[in-house]
A = this chain, B = another copy of it.
């Protein structure tokens, strides 16, 4: 497998067990080495006391996209931390698109930028995550594989 095929296989393996994303309707639109795109539609059940999308769900979409991007090299990798800045509210029915991009990767740690936009292309949030690689692969790649 080349790096693109490996990214797709890793994404598929990860998504098949990803109950949280499936429950929230978060879909993996694309994955490539260091990058991912995911979408989520804002449901009524995601609204908070201000009647806009709870920031936690916007974070969850961005954090998911970050996770797929940083696992796209087929090395098991966890989120160590992240910062999110909220730019504009998400509304019921909005289709949010997150795009994650690798900004740095050295040793076991990486930095990924994620932007979340709505269906009009308006930016809703900016997210920057710190990743930490652990042992293991998503798709086994033994020496004889």
Contacts and interface: CB of A to CB of B under 8 A. Distances in A.
A135 interface: no
Contacts of A84: 81-83
Interface in A1-46: 13-21, 23, 44-46
Nearest to A44: B19
A21 to B, nearest CB: 7
Please tell me the size bucket of the interface on A. Answer: 35 or more
Interface-central residue, A55, A56, A126, A130, by most chain B CB under 10 Å: A56
Given A86-B81, A126-B103, A47 B63 contact: no
Interface in A64-101: 64, 67, 76, 78-88
